[in-house]
Amino acid sequence: MNTKENTNEYEYTEETSHAKSILTGLVIGGLVGAGTVLLFAPQAGEKTRSELQHGALELRDRTSETVKDTISQAKSKANQVKADVQIKAGEIQHQGKDLLAKQLDRVAQAAVAGKKAIEES
């Protein structure tokens, strides 16, 4: 059992050591990368901040315009749908009136025929 415990302890230590090595490498690599960026930056920080601010304002303006255009298109489409619905409603109303007139004519004809049948009997 003693050998087994030593083997497990050795594996745990080896895995921990391996994880520490990877983590250390990542941290050192990140620091070296950050330092390199600072050393080889093409412009001063103030200029970079100014450009970022300008870019953010430009993005805000474009987004605002896009939203306005989208709202305008939605209103236009809504107005078109409303007009189409009104036209269709008018057509259906006209068809209903025609159908009602035909039915009233049939009822009137039936009433006349019924009256005539009563008179003849």
pLDDT, tens digit only, all 121 positions of the chain: 444 455 555 455 655 666 677 777 787 887 787 777 766 766 677 877 787 788 888 888 888 889 989 999 999 999 999 999 999 999 999 999 999 999 999 999 999 999 998 988 7
Q: Decide: pTM greater than 0.85.
A: no
For residue 1, what pLDDT is reported?
Answer: 46
Burial state string for 53-86 with b = 16 or more CB within 10 A and e = fewer than 16: eeeeeeeeeeeeeeeeeeeeeeeeeeeeeeeeee
